[in-house]
Amino acid sequence: MVTPNTNLVRRLKERNSDAWLELWEVFGPAIERMVASIAKRYFSPETVQDLRQETLLQVFARIEDFDTRRGANFSTWLYAIARHIVCAEIARRNALKRNRGLKPLSLGDVLDLDGGAASPAAEFEKQVFRAKVYHAIRLVERRSDFLEFEVYKMKVSRPIKAVEIAAILGISEAGVSRHLRKVRERLRETLRQVVREYSWTQDEVEEIEKHRLDGDDELFDSALGDIYAAVEEEQKRHHHPVRTVQGRA
C-alpha cells in the first residue's frame, strides 16, 4: 500500500496560489476534455470552459472535505465534482425547456453511456494519467537544454532513427545518442516523481508499468510517444476559436 502523498492537497488547503496554478495546469485540460466528452453534443465549447472553471471553483470551495485517508483517488474526487456540475447544468437546462413546453434531454442520452465505448469515468482516469505524463514531459522540457529536448522530441514524434536525426540537425550520431540518453533518463526520473506526487493509491502508482513506461529504451520511447500523440490529438480536437481576452486575470 502506497503512502498517500498529501503534499498537493495540503498546499491546496493552505490556499497556496502556486498549488492552484499547478492543479489548473495538470488537471485542467483533462477536466475540460472529460466535461466535453460527457456532453459535447449539447454544450458549446464556451460552456465547456465555463463548466471546467466551475469545477475548479467547486474544488476550491470543497477542498477541505477531501480526506486522503479514505483511500480515494484525487482524480476520482475531481471526476465526481465535475460530473455533478455537468448533471446540474443539464437539469437546469431541462427545467428551462420544460417551462417552455419542450422535451427535456434524458440523462442516458447526455452521458453517452452506450455499450462498447469506455465509460466517462474510465476515460477520465486514462486522461488523468496522460496528464501526469504530459506534465512530466513539460517539466523535463524546462530542465533540459533546448537542443537536447528537440532531439528527443523528434525521436518520439515520429519513427525516426538517430542517424537520420543527426543528418537533419547536422550533428554527430554519437551526439544524438547522448542527447537522447540524457533526456530519457531525466524523463524516467521525473515521471516517477510526478506520478508519486499526484497519486494517492497503489493502483495509480502502478500505472507506469501498465502503460509500459518501465520497459527498455525502445519500449519507453514508443509508449511515451503514444501518450504524447494522444494528448496532442485530444488538444487539437478540443481547441476553441481564438478570442481576445480583454480583462485582467
Partner 1 sequence: MRILRQILRALAWCIILPAAAVLTLVLSGPRLLVAFLHGIELLLDLAWLFVAIFFHLLRSSLFALGLGGREKALLIKAQAHHFAGEVKADAEKLLGLPMELARNFRRALDLVRRHLHRQGRRALDWAGEKASATMLRRPAFDFESDYEIVERLPSGGSTAQVFVVVPRRGSFPPGLPPGSTSRGERAVLKYFDLTIGSHLESIIRESGAVRLANQLGIVLDSKMSPTSFYYVMPYHHGATLTQEILAMHRRLPDGSRPSDPELNRFLGWLRDLLVVIVEYHERGVFHKDIKPDNLIVEGEKLHLIDIGLLTPLESMLQLTTHGTEYFRDPEMVRLATRGATIRDVDCAKFDIYSVGAVLYFILDGGFPASGSLTRYSRPVPFALQWISNRAMTDFDKRYSSAREMLRDVEALRELSAGAAFDSIKVSSLPSFHGGEPPPVPAGPAAPAGAAAPPSLPRGLAGREAASRFLKPAAGAVLLVACAAGALILSSNGEHLSGPVAAEAAPEEVLLGSTASVSTQAGSHLRAADDGASTRRFSSRHEAARWVSEVIENLRETFARKEGRGRTPLVLPLPGPEEDPQEMEFIRELKLALAQRSVPFETRAQATRPNAPDEPWVVRVKVTRRSGLRAVEGAVQTPSGPRCWSVEYP
| Positions that interact with partner 1 (CB under 8 A) | 17, 21, 137-138, 141-142, 145-147, 150, 153-154, 157, 166-175, 228-229, 232, 235-236, 239-240, 242-249
Shortest distance (Å) from residue 172 CB to partner 1: 4
* Residue 85 CB neighbours (<10 A): 20
Q: Compare residues 52 and 83 and give the one whose CB is closer to partner 1.
A: 52
Given the complex with partner 1, which of 12 and 90 has the nearer CB atom?
Answer: 12
Nearer to partner 1, 40 or 112 (CB): 40
Residues present in the chain in total: 249
- To partner 1, the closest distance from the beta carbon of 175 in angstroms equals 5
Find out whether 50 and 39 touch, Cβ atoms under 8 Å.
Answer: no
Q: How far is the CB of 152 from partner 1 (least distance, A)?
A: 12
**Contact 187/136 with Cβ under 8 angstroms?**
yes
Report, in Å, the least distance between residue 21 CB and partner 1.
7
C-alpha closest to that of 211 among 116, 136, 130: 130
Q: Are 188 and 196 in contact (CB under 8 A)?
A: no
**Between residues 92 and 143, which has the closer beta carbon with respect to partner 1?**
143
Nearer to partner 1, 11 or 94 (CB): 11
| CB of residue 3 to partner 1, shortest distance in Å | 31
Q: 146 burial class (0-12, 13-18, 19+ CB within 10 angstroms)?
A: exposed
* b/e sequence 169-206, b meaning 16+ C-beta within 10 Å: eeeeeebbeebbebbbebbbebbeebbbebbbbeebee
Nearer to partner 1 among residue 87 and residue 169 (C-beta): 169
Q: Which amino acid is at 17?
A: S
Q: Residue 103 Cβ, how far from partner 1 at the closest point, in Å?
A: 27
